[in-house]
Structure 1
């Protein structure tokens, strides 16, 4: 068993999912020196991540069996059911970016409403939008706001409350009511004659899931809001945010190790390589890749969930594999839409590419961690470091396609695409 380095168990903080996180300073290194080498990484991440948000294009192999991502019984049934009701728009769950790794706040704390063909309310009346929970006894509700109808179009952005409450953690329904314009309601009316439009996430358990009986809503919450496996490890939030954070750290440490080569800092380089293996393997398996007695140089709580699947049926599962399991669940669950099938297929393809890139980072790190200080400062080590940085960068930011001029298939694109899975189709209220 590896011992923990007490100097590195301090928790880190994240103020925005696209900003670089702060790491605990390695022993024997000045704070000024560590900050200096991080500046280029922060600039690169800030610039390229913004461009990466503009597109999500996917081709390639499947990370999960192809049968899970093509039309099946549930997909056909869902499409037919939606086809009987005219969709007037969508409700999207979004993040303000005001997140912290100690809570799930800020991950899905905002809502965007886009509707068309909406008739104006009667004189003296107004339309109000609500998020609701499914609890019939102690149900929660949030008034998203009064809707302004302009030429049949409604666009409203709910920016959340001061606590950045995780909305998906409780909400599963959306409702638009028509009520008095002069009095802002505090709770949605029970009188269904005032209900105009509605939407909800499917909650029918998957009949093929004989173990957990998860519904589509369950899978979405595991990905975006709260995952029970991570919660047991003391990691709040869904799988997606931890996949994003931890892959970003891999890039940060890979870039730091290469910077240390130019400064002839073999000791610092060695520590960053160990950190990379901590996060890729997870604490249950990393001892197989590092010299005996190597200390844990990352937050041991976070490192318990590795990025890669080292052994079949490992507990906890690797984050990439675990995300793939819930993508499979969404597609397989009753009520999944054709758009969710398409998007899950794209995410699945991107995960497969990231998996291959991080496996190459893993291979290089395993080789580098065995080098002596003298070997780490030689040109062969630099070649491995350059390769490791390139693969870590492509895994997190995506790869530039010169043919299309677009950035494709990285964790950044996966992060925003997973959020798009949590979309409700709005129809006339029944």
Structure 2
């Protein structure tokens, strides 16, 4: 990322390697209108939810954000749909500013500007809640994550000398409806209240904390020096005996000893060299292979509520320290199906273009955005003919160079009664879960937790607007019933609803609740408990590295945060549904609604802990970082004389063979 603050604009040049976690905190701290220039093949703004979070930041910090996108019409369309002006070049933006285009459009859109906390809502004459924005601005700047790295400086942009009002709104465009899982109402942006409420500290996870107990050292005893004995006078000495001349020995014996000693020394040195060579040979055979790169599954976000498409439908491969291929050869990357398939499949990812030993490959998936994690679990790099790209991996394993896989071996754990493997747990989270498939909820646990928590944000925010405008008690009650339906799930909703209450949500989408309401044996399990179960299964796998264990533990901590906040939302909703119409119009109802909005926002977007100045992460962070678990390390492989390739697991080399029945097509 490169940054230029010259003039009245903050110009941020977004490079292909910049990710959302680094870019968005930089955007949040800007005080000037922001111009985001997207480089070619930039990955940060490929998904609709990137723009959703950016809209949340824009409203939260009262920012002006403009895009300059020269290489992707799809990204420009996404930006426009989400209310961000998009230009093909800096020159086009300069001409628009000079022509006063922004000022005129801002004047027309002034009626949709969110009110500041000090303005009177009644003064606006609210008549229709659908014409008002869902969130309000004024969020303290401390709620964003701290900047994790320095920014570079670039040359001043053409906008440096053009005056532009900083405190006015950017032109807003009517967004095209995005595809959501529940089509009852449009999906809102995550709102942020003007006054940040600090929730109680979350309970610590005892299993993730280790306490060091230092043992006191034993006291050091002082050393007491003993007094020296008194010096006695010397006794008189007798005269020395006469000196005898030394006896002459033959010199043959020292020569024999020297020869024997030298022979022993040479034997010891030789034995040491032989042992050292043997030890190095054994060590070279048992040492863990060195990773040369990683393949990661990513999502395009082209979701469909009736299938798993748009999830893990793309892959990114980065390798390094590769030797140049032989003359007339090229490296080719492949995704391979599971080893236990009767007819193993392969997906050609493309050729690797080596530059100084490194290569980057992006595979955009097929036209249907099929979930690749459902179809494949291994990656292979072969070295084959450069003039005629192969249609499938070579059956000659001597052409195989690098390989990696998700472990499909059942995990040896007492509670693993269904013999799940690492691959099974990962697929339940990110691709397909058998329990959800039976309930007609395809796509895995991660996406449904993200989608349903987002719906809570929409419903709770609309309650506050209506109460402040018209105090429509029936609307407040209906939205609260929808919130409880998603929190409890339709199986256990009767616990919280008054008798004969209607079901106001899509029954299929609410079949699984977000939180546990019936104890440890709840069936179907809540999304929170179900995700925790499979992440615990990943920790039980033998090949889970230290870095991966820390990553999973961080995800579990965020689950605790989310579960805590959603529990608070449920408590407030239970109080509201028990109120009559007169009670719902009292000021105490607004306090409950505000608490629900705060805790729902925290569950979805996280909260800054004022005591530690650290973010307590929510569903948005959990969704993105759980996706990062779907990555495979590649290691070098070398077939033996028969062409059999040893199976490689991170940290170990097993003598078992990898067998592929891939036939040339």
The TM-score range, normalised by the shorter chain, is 0.7 to 0.9
Q: Indicate which of 559, 570, 573 corresponds to 1:362.
A: 570
| Structure 2 partner of 1:126 | 330
Q: Distance in 1 between matches of 2:500 and 2:336?
A: 52
CA deviations on 1:383-404 (whole Å, 9 max, x unpaired) are 1111110000000011134688
* 1:318 to partner: Cα distance: 0.6
Tell which deviates more after alignment, 278-287 or 129-138: 129-138
2:214 counterpart of 1:66: no
**Structure 1 residues 259, 67: CA separation in 2 closer, same or farther (over 3 Å shift)?**
closer
SS at match of 2:510: helix
| Structure 1 partner of 2:403 | 198
SS at match of 2:494: helix
SS at match of 1:127: strand
2:509 counterpart of 1:305: no
| Structure 2 partner of 1:89 | 293
| Conserved 8 A contact 1:52-1:412 | no
Q: Distance in 2 between matches of 1:183 and 1:344?
A: 43
* 1:371 to partner: Cα distance: 1.4
* 1:202 to partner: Cα distance: 0.9
Relative contact order, higher structure (CA 8 A, sep 6+): 1
SS at match of 1:302: coil
**Structure 1 residues 184, 309: CA separation in 2 closer, same or farther (over 3 Å shift)?**
same
Tell which deviates more after alignment, 112-121 or 242-251: 112-121
Q: Indicate which of 447, 459, 463 corresponds to 1:257.
A: 463
Q: Indicate which of 309, 332, 336 corresponds to 2:540.
A: 332
Q: Distance in 1 between matches of 2:632 and 2:130?
A: 43
**Structure 1 residues 147, 403: CA separation in 2 closer, same or farther (over 3 Å shift)?**
farther
Q: Superposition pairs for residues 4-403 of structure 1, below 5 Å? A: 16-17=48-49, 33=128, 35-37=130-132, 39-41=133-135, 61=203, 66=207, 84-134=288-338, 135-208=340-413, 209-263=415-469, 264-311=471-518, 312-401=520-609
Q: Distance in 2 between matches of 1:54 and 1:95?
A: 25
Report the structure number with the largest CA radius of gyration: 2
Q: Distance in 1 between matches of 2:345 and 2:445?
A: 25
SS at match of 2:304: coil
Tell which deviates more after alignment, 212-221 or 419-428: 419-428
- Greater share of residues in helix: 1
| Conserved 8 A contact 1:17-1:99 | no
| Conserved 8 A contact 1:222-1:238 | yes
Q: Distance in 2 between matches of 1:87 and 1:61?
A: 38
CA deviations on 1:265-314 (whole Å, 9 max, x unpaired) are 22111111000000001111111111111111111111110001112211
| Conserved 8 A contact 1:143-1:187 | yes
* 1:331 to partner: Cα distance: 0.6
**Structure 1 residues 60, 362: CA separation in 2 closer, same or farther (over 3 Å shift)?**
closer
SS at match of 1:207: coil
Q: Distance in 2 between matches of 1:257 and 1:292?
A: 22
**Structure 1 residues 246, 84: CA separation in 2 closer, same or farther (over 3 Å shift)?**
same
**Structure 1 residues 375, 19: CA separation in 2 closer, same or farther (over 3 Å shift)?**
farther
* 1:144 to partner: Cα distance: 1.0
**Structure 1 residues 364, 18: CA separation in 2 closer, same or farther (over 3 Å shift)?**
farther
SS at match of 2:332: strand
Q: Distance in 1 between matches of 2:146 and 2:440?
A: 30
Please tell me the root mean square deviation across aligned C-alpha atoms, in Å.
3.0
Q: Distance in 2 between matches of 1:68 and 1:227?
A: 31
5+ residue gaps in structure 2?
Answer: 1-46, 53-126, 149-200, 211-284, 639-665
* 1:413 to partner: Cα distance: 0.6
**Structure 1 residues 160, 362: CA separation in 2 closer, same or farther (over 3 Å shift)?**
same
| Conserved 8 A contact 1:175-1:199 | yes
Tell which deviates more after alignment, 270-279 or 115-124: 115-124
Q: Distance in 1 between matches of 2:528 and 2:146?
A: 20
CA deviations on 1:362-419 (whole Å, 9 max, x unpaired) are 0000001111222222210001111110000000011134688764410011101111
**Structure 1 residues 66, 402: CA separation in 2 closer, same or farther (over 3 Å shift)?**
closer
Q: Distance in 1 between matches of 2:317 and 2:136?
A: 33
Q: Distance in 2 between matches of 1:282 and 1:219?
A: 23
Tell which deviates more after alignment, 151-160 or 212-221: 151-160
Structure 1-normalised TM-score?
A: 0.83
* 1:87 to partner: Cα distance: 0.9
| Conserved 8 A contact 1:19-1:42 | no
| Conserved 8 A contact 1:277-1:362 | yes
| Structure 2 partner of 1:8 | none
Structure 2-normalised TM-score?
A: 0.55
Report how many residues are paired: 387
Q: Distance in 2 between matches of 1:273 and 1:16?
A: 27
